[in-house]
Amino acid sequence: MSSDPSNDDASVYPASPAPAETPWPETGSSRVEVDLAAVSHRGLVRQNNEDHYLVVRFSRSMETLLTNLPADRIPARAEEVGYGLAVADGMGGPVGGEVASQLAVTTLISLALHTPDWIFGISPEDTERRMQRMADRWRRVQEAVRERGRSDPSWGRWGRR
């Protein structure tokens, strides 16, 4: 660390842009085309569908709105994208099964949206960090569902598992 705090971050960022042929990173994820669909059915036994699903597209993006920099010095638009799919089974009929499956999906999304840094990289380290986060999120989803089950005894045993 230098005694001049204005220089502390200088080593973190490159002093000059990358060579002219690649002035900003190429994000292959923004060129991926995906066809998605989802459907759910109540099944042959139940009167209502207790299952819930969610398909999302998430991104990190930047769009230049105004600048006096030359056009080749900054991208007009840059984007990284990913997709998430979640399915929560309604537990096959216990009272509150549809509430449990809905709570599982909404809790998961809340946890993701409250994470300040999303990981878009594809390195093994990034993949490991994503897997650790998902394991922690699923643990917290299970805790939320169990807690909800404990709070309403009419839902039977599923909150006490």
pLDDT of residue 66: 95
pTM for this predicted structure: 0.72
Distance CA 142, CA 159 (A): 10
Specify whether the CB–CB gap between 84 and 118 falls below 8 A: no
C-alpha 124: how far from chain center: 18
Distance CA 63, CA 53 (A): 31
pLDDT in tens, the chain (161 residues): 445 544 454 445 455 554 555 566 666 676 778 898 888 887 777 777 888 899 999 988 999 999 999 988 888 888 888 899 999 987 655 677 888 899 999 999 999 999 999 988 888 999 999 999 999 999 999 999 989 888 887 776 655 55
Q: How distant, in Å, are the alpha carbons of 7, 55, 79, 83 from that of 36?
A: 47, 8, 20, 10
Three-state secondary structure call for residue 53: strand
Q: What is the dihedral of CA 141, 142, 147, 149, to 10 degrees?
A: 120
